[in-house]
């Protein structure tokens, strides 16, 4: 490995603490890249000794942006410990909550964090390339983003009582049924939200050609794609079974039981990062690289299962003959998923039994182990617990979406850095593109990030003897 390095430190959008190292050869060209997550959360250890019934509320604290995802995966694991089938109404209510979470989280990623790049330009003044610059230049787009995010949060609030860290999802179901007034209020807001999602899709598709280079170089390479699909191969976020497809779009494995994830997923640990690197076991490490999240979900599904989203999905899949490979298209996939989520919310609210009162099954701990798997906004989320006879947690393992994508993010920054970074002279636009690769994956950053629209970071360019050749910093 070469000794010349460019270090981006910190990168604030992965759990708050991360850095990127670009290794240069003697000619100043990027030879390798590493993405280091330097923060240790320790949730798997600190929950040991707690009653399993506390786990959903405890695990929701992992993140302030996607607490609902952890709540749901955790509650599903606890359902298995109870050994009970939760009431069908509760399944649909949890599904609603998860869809609302996807709407608000995807809206945050697309409108607040990434739209400044699309609308103001990758090379635009970094001081204005953020949400505030977006508001100034494109207030209508900023308003749309705010409306969508607010809607998603309001649905969560109407269902679960509060927007962040709700305690409504419990082992065995949910704590309260859906109120008729809440149902009506959510339904009333849907037409406007659908209009926002559809006009944003129209706009984004119209500007895609301006980002050909980014699409070509932002983690654009063959990998596997993994996620949940429904019984008929449709898009699924709450239940279902695991499907794996390859870069050609061929199904490599199907109907894998999520509870048997350890049979087909390995977890590698790298010495320079606290973020695990899961891989698909049959292909080994690191060849078993795969991606999860919106791009993967649209690649593995046979269809979305709702009218307008199905049309958008079909058009999306026309981008390539096999699977859509460029991670730049995560942004596009997010918009399709927002539309799908809004349509699906309407479908579920139209079900006559959705106001049913039986929403929770009661039981004690009946099984020593529980595994909960759901699709979070950023990808497949796995919670796995073991308890003793009293229901006290003895061991836990979590695989979070950002981890699944770790290998691909590493390879992605290398690809973009090789294309855009000149090791002898740093440019802000090149630096922003390296960031933007990470941003496309939308790693679970919002619980800890402090920046809106741009990372606070410092890059140092050092020679073979460690001498400082150039440096650039911005933000705090």
Partner 1 sequence: MSVLILGYGNPLAGDDGAGWRAAETLASSLEQPGVRVLTCRQLTPELAAEAAEASLVIFLDASVELPPGKVSCRRVTPQPATAPFSHQFTPAALLSLVEQLYGRRPEAVLFSVGARSFVGENLSSEVEQALPALLEQVKELVARVMQAGKPADEPARSAPSDDFFSVMH
Positions in the binding site for partner 1 (CB under 8 A): 64, 112, 130-132, 135-136, 139, 142-143, 146-147, 149-150, 153, 162-164, 449-454, 475-476
320 CB-contact burial (10 Å; exposed 0-12 / middle 13-18 / buried 19+): middle
Nearest C-alpha neighbor of 100 from the set 160, 173, 60, 140: 160
How many Å apart are CA 63 and CA 57, to the nearest integer?
11
Identity of the residue, 360 or 439, whose beta carbon is nearer to partner 1 in the bound complex: 439
Nearest C-alpha neighbor of 328 from the set 438, 218, 175: 218
DSSP three-state, residue 416 = helix
CB of 153 to partner 1, least distance (A): 7
CB of 150 to partner 1, least distance (A): 5
Identity of the residue, 49 or 139, whose beta carbon is nearer to partner 1 in the bound complex: 139
How many Å apart are CA 287 and CA 196, to the nearest integer?
40
Tokens of 190: 């849907």
CB of 60 to partner 1, least distance (A): 13
CB of 143 to partner 1, least distance (A): 5
Q: How far is CA 178 from the centre of its chain?
A: 27
CB of 132 to partner 1, least distance (A): 6
How many Å apart are CA 314 and CA 63, to the nearest integer?
33
- Could you tell me if 86 and 431 are in contact, meaning their C-beta atoms sit under 8 angstroms apart? no
Please name the residues in contact with 96: beta carbons below 8 A apart, sequence gap of 6 or more. 155, 159, 178, 345, 348, 349
140 CB-contact burial (10 Å; exposed 0-12 / middle 13-18 / buried 19+): exposed
Q: How far is CA 290 from the centre of its chain?
A: 14
Q: Cα-flanking dihedrals φ and ψ of residue 87, to 5°?
A: -60, 145
DSSP letter string, 163-182: SSS---EETTEESSPPPHHH
How many Å apart are CA 173 and CA 56, to the nearest integer?
11
474: alpha, beta or left, given left = phi > 0 and alpha = psi -120 to 50? beta
How many Å apart are CA 243 and CA 227, to the nearest integer?
6
Nearest C-alpha neighbor of 244 from the set 352, 393, 109, 404: 404
Identity of the residue, 59 or 407, whose beta carbon is nearer to partner 1 in the bound complex: 59
Identity of the residue, 85 or 143, whose beta carbon is nearer to partner 1 in the bound complex: 143
Identity of the residue, 415 or 449, whose beta carbon is nearer to partner 1 in the bound complex: 449
DSSP three-state, residue 257 = coil
Work out whether strand 169-170 and strand 251-256 pair parallel, antiparallel, or are unpaired. Answer: unpaired
CB of 355 to partner 1, least distance (A): 25
Identity of the residue, 87 or 189, whose beta carbon is nearer to partner 1 in the bound complex: 189
Identity of the residue, 146 or 361, whose beta carbon is nearer to partner 1 in the bound complex: 146
CB of 394 to partner 1, least distance (A): 26
Nearest C-alpha neighbor of 34 from the set 18, 49, 16: 18
Identity of the residue, 153 or 402, whose beta carbon is nearer to partner 1 in the bound complex: 153
Q: Does an H or E element contain 314, and which?
A: helix 307-317
CB of 324 to partner 1, least distance (A): 30
Identity of the residue, 136 or 257, whose beta carbon is nearer to partner 1 in the bound complex: 136
Identity of the residue, 164 or 308, whose beta carbon is nearer to partner 1 in the bound complex: 164
DSSP three-state, residue 473 = strand
Identity of the residue, 299 or 449, whose beta carbon is nearer to partner 1 in the bound complex: 449
Identity of the residue, 10 or 453, whose beta carbon is nearer to partner 1 in the bound complex: 453
**DSSP 8-class letter at 3:** S
């Amino acid at each position: 490995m070469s000794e010349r390095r460019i270090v981006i430190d910190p990168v604030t959008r992965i759990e708050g603490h991360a850095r990127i190292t670009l290794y240069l050869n003697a000619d100043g060209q990027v030879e390798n890249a590493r993405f280091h997550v330097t923060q240790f959360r320790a949730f798997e250890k600190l929950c040991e000794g707690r009653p399993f019934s506390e786990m959903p509320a405890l695990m929701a604290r992992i993140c302030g942006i996607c607490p609902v995802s952890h709540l749901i995966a955790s509650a599903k694991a606890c359902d298995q410990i109870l050994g009970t089938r939760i009431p069908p109404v509760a399944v649909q209510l949890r599904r609603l909550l998860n869809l609302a979470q996807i709407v608000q989280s995807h809206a945050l990623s697309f409108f607040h964090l990434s739209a400044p790049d699309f609308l103001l330009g990758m090379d635009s003044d970094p001081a204005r390339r953020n949400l505030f610059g977006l508001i100034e230049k494109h207030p209508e787009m900023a308003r749309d983003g705010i409306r969508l995010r607010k809607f998603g949060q309001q649905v969560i609030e109407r269902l679960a009582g509060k927007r962040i860290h709700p305690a409504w999802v419990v082992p065995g179901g949910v704590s309260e049924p859906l109120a008729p007034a809440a149902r009506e209020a959510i339904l009333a807001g849907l037409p406007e939200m659908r209009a926002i999602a559809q006009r944003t899709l129209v706009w984004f598709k119209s500007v895609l050609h301006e980002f050909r280079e980014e699409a070509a170089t932002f983690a654009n390479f063959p990998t596997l794609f993994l996620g949940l699909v429904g019984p008929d191969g449709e898009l699924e976020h709450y239940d279902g079974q695991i499907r794996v497809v390859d870069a050609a779009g061929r199904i490599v494995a199907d109907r894998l039981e999520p509870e048997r994830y350890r049979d087909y997923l390995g977890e590698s640990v790298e010495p320079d990062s606290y973020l695990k690197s899961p891989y698909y076991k049959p292909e080994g490490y690191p060849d078993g690289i795969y991606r999860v999240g919106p791009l993967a979900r649209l690649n593995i599904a046979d269809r979305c299962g709702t009218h307008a989203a199905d049309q958008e999905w079909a058009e999306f899949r026309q981008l390539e003959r096999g699977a859509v490979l460029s991670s730049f298209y995560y942004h596009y996939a997010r918009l399709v998923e927002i539309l799908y989520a809004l349509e699906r919310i309407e479908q579920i609210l139209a079900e006559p039994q959705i106001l049913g009162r039986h929403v929770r099954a009661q039981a004690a701990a009946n099984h020593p182990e529980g595994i909960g798997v759901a699709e979070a906004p950023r990808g497949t989320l796995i919670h796995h617990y073991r308890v003793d006879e009293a229901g006290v947690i003895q061991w836990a393992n979590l695989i979070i979406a950002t981890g699944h994508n770790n290998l691909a993010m590493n390879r992605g920054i290398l690809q973009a850095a090789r294309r855009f970074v000149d090791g002898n002279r740093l440019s802000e636009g090149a630096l922003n593109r390296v960031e933007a690769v990470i941003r496309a994956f939308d790693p679970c950053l919002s619980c800890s990030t402090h920046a809106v629209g741009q990372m606070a970071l410092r890059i140092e360019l050092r020679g073979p003897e460690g001498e400082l050749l150039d440096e650039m910093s911005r933000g705090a």
